[in-house]
Structure 1
Amino acid sequence: MERQEWNKIFFIRSVKEYDVTDNPCCVIHILCRRGSMSFRFQNVHYNIAAGDYVILTNMSLASGFSESDDYEGITMGLSEPFVLSIAIRNNYGIIGHLSLLQNPVMKLSPPDFRKCSSDMERLRERLADKTHLFREEMLGYLLMAHILDLYDIHARGQAPRPVPERTAKLLQQFVDMLYGGEYITHRDVPYYASRLCVTPHYLSEICRKASGKPATYWIDRFTLHEIANLLCQKELTLTDIADRLHFSSVSYFSRYVKKQTGLYPTAYRNNLWKKSGE
């Protein structure tokens, strides 16, 4: 099938066709219909099979995509601003977002698989209709219905964690700061709490209530992902990496990596190279 696209929604044959430099603010949805696929996200290796639904909230955190010869799936890209403009009526979005940063794969039951497949096929079909006078509104409502289906599927598999509107806004601002790279120079909770005008304890508590993890977990998660990316660049020494991430010394950098991964940087680097096939 030919690539179908609009500046807010697009469908591609394979996620390997996606260029993050062309579409830096997109969320990628993948429904595996047949065969299998593997990839790395946040330095964790995933294998998916038929009936799995993947939501990659930030493609810069994903790599190493590989598909089986019999793989068949639907890959949909969504403009993040367009998704936000739909204004889903509840605050479950930030809960789901944090959860998907921990594990981007949802295992679908047969009824949920049929529902998601139907939702995505309907969106793809209507995307091709460029003569519709209310195309943007029509696609927006179809997408909203699909997102609410995904919220329902995800929430049924999670312990309920209601989040007030103010809390959801604070969490979104915190996550946006991490996506913006502020963990490169700041890895302490008080810094983020100060920027958000709350106490460090309050920030950690709302993170824990929404995701089951404290604020430090998310700071370390983003930091470790960047460390892994830099360790994969053979030309960079440990001193180079420690300097880029503003660690006070190589020894402190080494202790940090050991604490997070159980391995010192050189051993962790060797493991990453083995997994990437280098």
Structure 2
Amino acid sequence: MAETDNIIIKDSLDGLGTDAYGNYLAHALCLAGSCKLKYNGEERQLQAGNLMIVRKGKLVDRIRPAEDFRVKVIYVASEFIELSTPLSNYGMKGQLALFLDPVMKLDAGQLELCRKDFEMVEERLAQTDHHFRRDLLIASVQLLIIDFFDFHSHLYGVDNIPLQSAAIMSRFLNMLENGTYREHREVKWFADKLCVTPKYLSEVSRKVSGYPANYWINLYTVLDISRLLRDKSLTFVRISDMFGFSSPAYFSRYVQQHLGVSPTEYRG
């Protein structure tokens, strides 16, 4: 992948949540106005001075910008983010918190610093004749991420997450990101793969994220199911089969339990 493919800069949210940016993390700095959107089925608003970081673009839909909305968006490929992320365990806490709520409200000083970081990445991306361009871009994105960590830690506080706990949680989330929950939704199965006990995995998850392991398994499952339910070309039986439910009735009970309505009611 070329460096221009690793980092893409846009002046609108067009395409966010589509397959075009499926492998990218989106970092959107609202410069003026406001924009309403749905994130994980909940109404959100991006306003001037807000920074939005979206790791899973498919959680975003119904983007409705106001006429005066101005935004700068930096898309960074997932693999390039991994190369650029600093060696800090704080990234795990930030990742989990932003998964639940992707919008950070910056103060005046943070906003100015974030604006400069965005401009720096854009300027460095334009330096196509730099002999060490890849290293230059990695360093630029890393600085951006370090400032994001700082913004987030001022909002939510800093917790010292042990290296082993961060590593286990990272591997656990990677399995969920890869869709393993479609076949396996038992904490024991994930714990076995991670060579720990189910109790230990849930303790680590609670320590790092504030939630037990089954919370994240169910969250990823429900997010995927709700997205598929919105696709009216898919039958309930088909969706049930995709997740390995023993029967459509069991699938319906699972949806009722986690979404509060039946599949038919959710689809409307």
TM-score (norm 2): 0.93
Asked if structure 2 preserves the Cα contact closer than 8 Å seen for 1:161 and 1:209, the reply is no
Query: Which residue pairs with 1:143 in the alignment?
Result: 141
The structural deviation recorded for 1:39 is: 2.3
Query: Which residue pairs with 2:247 in the alignment?
Result: 249
Asked if structure 1 preserves the Cα contact closer than 8 Å seen for 2:176 and 2:220, the reply is yes
Percent sequence identity is: 35
The structural deviation recorded for 1:48 is: 1.3
The structural deviation recorded for 1:247 is: 1.2
The structural deviation recorded for 1:20 is: 4.6
Asked if structure 1 preserves the Cα contact closer than 8 Å seen for 2:35 and 2:65, the reply is yes
The structural deviation recorded for 1:22 is: 4.2
The whole-number CA distance in structure 2 between the counterparts of 1:12 and 1:237 is 36
Query: Which residue pairs with 1:36 in the alignment?
Result: 34
Asked if structure 1 preserves the Cα contact closer than 8 Å seen for 2:89 and 2:166, the reply is yes
Asked if structure 2 preserves the Cα contact closer than 8 Å seen for 1:91 and 1:168, the reply is yes
The structural deviation recorded for 1:102 is: 0.8
Query: Which residue pairs with 1:120 in the alignment?
Result: 118
Q: 1:64-112, CA deviations, whole angstroms, 9 ceiling, x for partnerless residues?
A: 2221111101100112212211351211111111111111111111111
The structural deviation recorded for 1:19 is: 7.6
More displaced, 40-49 or 178-187?
A: 40-49
The whole-number CA distance in structure 1 between the counterparts of 2:123 and 2:41 is 35
Question: Structure 1: which 5+ runs fail to align?
Answer: 271-278
Query: Which residue pairs with 2:175 in the alignment?
Result: 177
The structural deviation recorded for 1:215 is: 0.9
Query: Which residue pairs with 2:80 in the alignment?
Result: 82
The whole-number CA distance in structure 1 between the counterparts of 2:119 and 2:166 is 31
The whole-number CA distance in structure 1 between the counterparts of 2:201 and 2:262 is 30
The whole-number CA distance in structure 1 between the counterparts of 2:258 and 2:133 is 48
Aligned residues: 266
* Aligned: 1:61 with 2:59: yes
Asked if structure 2 preserves the Cα contact closer than 8 Å seen for 1:28 and 1:78, the reply is yes
Question: Given residue 70 of structure 1, which amino acid in structure 2 is its aligned partner?
Answer: D
Asked if structure 2 preserves the Cα contact closer than 8 Å seen for 1:42 and 1:221, the reply is no
Asked if structure 2 preserves the Cα contact closer than 8 Å seen for 1:14 and 1:75, the reply is yes
Query: Which residue pairs with 1:164 in the alignment?
Result: 162
* Aligned: 1:51 with 2:70: no
Question: Structure 2: which 5+ runs fail to align?
Answer: none
* Aligned: 1:233 with 2:231: yes
The structural deviation recorded for 1:184 is: 0.6
More displaced, 138-147 or 75-84?
A: 138-147
The whole-number CA distance in structure 1 between the counterparts of 2:71 and 2:59 is 21
Query: Which residue pairs with 2:100 in the alignment?
Result: 102
The structural deviation recorded for 1:153 is: 0.7
TM-score (norm 1): 0.90
Match of 1:153 among 126, 151, 154: 151
2:174 aligns to what SS in structure 1?
A: helix
Question: Given residue 262 of structure 2, which amino acid in structure 1 is its aligned partner?
Answer: Y
Provide runs of 4+ in structure 1 moved above 3 Å: 17-24
Asked if structure 1 preserves the Cα contact closer than 8 Å seen for 2:124 and 2:140, the reply is no
- CA distance 1:134–1:235, shift in 2 (3 Å): closer
* Aligned: 1:213 with 2:211: yes
Query: Which residue pairs with 1:202 in the alignment?
Result: 200
Query: Which residue pairs with 1:224 in the alignment?
Result: 222
Asked if structure 1 preserves the Cα contact closer than 8 Å seen for 2:17 and 2:59, the reply is no
More displaced, 229-238 or 17-26?
A: 17-26
Asked if structure 1 preserves the Cα contact closer than 8 Å seen for 2:34 and 2:47, the reply is yes
- CA distance 1:198–1:99, shift in 2 (3 Å): same
* Aligned: 1:73 with 2:86: no
Asked if structure 2 preserves the Cα contact closer than 8 Å seen for 1:188 and 1:216, the reply is yes
1:85 aligns to what SS in structure 2?
A: helix
